[in-house]
Structure 1
Amino acid sequence: MLLFILGILCGIYGTVVIFMAGFLELQNYIWYVFAFVFFALGKLIKLYLNKRIPLWSVVSVCTLATLGILIFVITVVVIRLSVPKDDKKSLDFLVILGAKTDFDKKESDCIYRLEKAIDYINENPDTIIVISGGMQKNGKIESLEMADYLIERGIDRDNILVEVESHNTRENLIYSKALMDKYNEEMKINTDFIIRNDIGPVEVVEARPETIGILTNDFHIFRAMQVAKKLGYTQVSPISAKSGNILYLHMLVRETFAILKYKFLGYI
């Protein structure tokens, strides 16, 4: 009976997710898969009780299901522990990771990130914003739309750097790092100066490491930070934006699969 109820709940939640997050993304249908699994488990147990299948088949399926739930619970704990309690102030750069620009949706991860960026820049106006994100399925470029959103709300366009090539978290960070390195090199060329004295010319440059913040939603912080460190980011700090209440569980499930994928591919 419990498994049947869990299956019904997964089906209902899956329907809510599809209506809120979109019909075209296959990953939004994962809750229907979970519903089927719970119904199948219930059916297997019933068949065993009727002595139509052996015990080992039920134990095997239940063990796999329990292992999956355990992995999910551990991952959620790790994700929650990675969310910072406070934001590091006066960063040199604030990298906003790309997100689907669904500005018309009630719970938009993208809007949560951008509103957090506005709050941060209002408190730390000298921080340079780096927006990352390439072309979406609708032909629009994430980072440009995100930049327009910030500019319309009063952020100085001269304070924004944009990269338009990336399509996932790892690429966001790769291309953002390249953009920041290019910016630093150009600034170094423009600001280097020479001191001349009796000893001879001495070139003066700033050797202090650049401090970088990575801004994304709370459920995404752990993976983003792990990828950044793997790519050689130093002096990097997480800046956490909130996420929607209704879709939060769905995003945690998606993120669990994403973390496992990135671990398998060696990205973290």
Structure 2
Amino acid sequence: MRKIVLITVCLLLGCLFIGWIYLWSLVSQYDEQTDPSAKREVAIVLGAALWDGEPSPALRERLEAALQLYEDGLVARIILSGGEGNDGISEAEGMKRYLTARGVPADDLLLEEEAANTQENLSFSQAILKEAGLTEVYIVTHDYHMYRAMKIAAELQLEAQPVSVHSRVLFKPYHKTRESLALIKYYLVNG
């Protein structure tokens, strides 16, 4: 009996390990920073935390990638997606302040201020795209987050190209682990 229990436990642990390796490989698919070269109409920047009303260092990395697209003439507009943060303003408003301070005209920024998660970021941004008649899209987020973002975009039939940002400020193992857990939740909810 003990031998059967031991074998069962070993098999379960082995399956869990293989499953974890699989999830880790999914969140690592976009580890190489992309180098976009095609013109698109708009970039959607997926929100992250504000610190004292300012974009966190990680959010600044996403914004800098979007700013580079804009300055290189690869996009004419940017959707800033993120609901209310802890600072009394939306993530989108914090991102707008950051980009306008760097010379992006406010008219070129579209704010989506209701989203509380990645699904809502893309779904609510899609409504803005339809209203503005925009179809050629880049999605800007961190590399570890891009797999799930692109999966959700595909489900929404939002044809988008990834602009994955490789972080210099985040502890990658923590965020990949967190994203792997988010993928488990995503698959449990969405099948």
TM-score bucket of the superposed structures, by smaller chain: 0.7 to 0.9
Q: After superposing the two structures, state which structure 1 stretch, 57-66 or 172-181, moved more.
A: 57-66
Structure 1 residues 137-152: aligned runs within 5 Å: 137-152=86-101
Residue 266, structure 1, aligned to residue 190, structure 2:
yes
Q: Which of 131, 140, 143 is residue 80 of structure 2 equivalent to?
A: 131
Q: Which of 223, 231, 254 is residue 148 of structure 2 equivalent to?
A: 223
**Amino acid of the structure 2 residue aligned with 1:260:** I
Q: Which has the larger radius of gyration?
A: 1
- Partner residue in 2 for 1:25: none
CA distance in 1, matches of 2:3, 2:154: 46
Q: After superposing the two structures, state which structure 1 stretch, 220-229 or 75-84, moved more.
A: 75-84
Residue 81, structure 1, aligned to residue 5, structure 2:
no
CA distance in 2, matches of 1:175, 1:112: 22
CA distance in 1, matches of 2:170, 2:44: 26
Aligned residues: 189
Structure 1 residues 1-268: aligned runs within 5 Å: 54-83=2-31, 85-102=34-51, 108-124=57-73, 126-184=75-133, 210-234=135-159, 236-244=160-168, 247-266=171-190
**Amino acid of the structure 2 residue aligned with 1:210:** T
CA distance in 2, matches of 1:140, 1:67: 44
* TM-score normalised by the chain length of structure 1: 0.63
Deviation of 1:61 after TM superposition, in Å, equals: 3.8
CA distance in 1, matches of 2:51, 2:128: 25
Higher relative contact order (CA 8 A, sep 6+): 2
For each residue in 1:94-127, what CA deviation from the matched residue of structure 2 results, as whole angstroms up to 9, or x when unmatched? 000111123899x832111011111111112652
What's the Cα RMSD here? 2.5
CA distance in 1, matches of 2:106, 2:170: 33
CA distance in 2, matches of 1:118, 1:215: 11
Tell me: CA distance 1:239–1:126, structure 2 relative to 1, closer, same or farther (3 Å). closer
**Amino acid of the structure 1 residue aligned with 2:17:** I
* TM-score normalised by the chain length of structure 2: 0.87
Deviation of 1:62 after TM superposition, in Å, equals: 4.0
Tell me: CA distance 1:94–1:103, structure 2 relative to 1, closer, same or farther (3 Å). farther
Instruction: Give the structure with the larger strand fraction.
Output: 2
- Partner residue in 2 for 1:195: none
| Cα contact 2:129–2:135 (8 A) shared by 1 | no
Tell me: CA distance 1:259–1:101, structure 2 relative to 1, closer, same or farther (3 Å). same
5+ long unaligned stretches in structure 2: none
Identical aligned pairs, as a percentage? 26
Runs of 4+ in 1 over 6 A off after TM superposition: none
Instruction: Give the structure with the larger helix fraction.
Output: 1
